[in-house]
Structure 1
Amino acid sequence: MPFYGTVLVGVFVAAIICPRIPPLSKMKNEYYGPVGKQIKEEVPNNQSTLSFAFERAVQKAAQSDKPVQIVKKRIVQCNGYLARDASDCDGDWYTGTNHC
């Protein structure tokens, strides 16, 4: 537990300090001009930021696959990678695309 506690404290300290030092602190908070802002992130006046964020998270989670479906997909994906010879494939292991 001391190791994990130390790692946890270190991560939080880094998360607080890193955005405040250059070059991150010098970056402008703007969107790419030709594309512009494509997401709605304004919090309604009658709602707190935390409750708005929680509501959006619940909506997004409702659209995702169920945990059992996710596990099944990953098992099938892993079996596919183990079953073929990786030397003649240039697939992307992260997104699951392959070009065999």
Structure 2
Amino acid sequence: MTQSATATAPTEHASRYLQQLCKHWSHKAETDFTPESGTITFASGNLLKLGASAVQLTLDVTVPDAEDLEHFKGVVDAHLLRFAFREDLEIVWG
């Protein structure tokens, strides 16, 4: 059963992080991105959509198996926090 979740992360570097995530995962997933939006589609069916504004990064994750949702959110969080080590980034899942 497909399940989704959305998060926001206030940051002035949203576009940088969006592009870093897309480039990082481009070797193991299908990616399509601009400075303002990105989509990463994994072979597993997991999907990450990103949006960047001047003040925040928006993350939308969708997984085909509901049991994978928390794990996938954790993977996304871990990668994003690694890229954002210069700031105290807070990722808020709704």
What is the TM-score normalised by the length of structure 2?
A: 0.23
Counting strand residues as a fraction of each chain, which structure ranks higher? 2
What is the TM-score normalised by the length of structure 1?
A: 0.22
Counting helix residues as a fraction of each chain, which structure ranks higher? 1
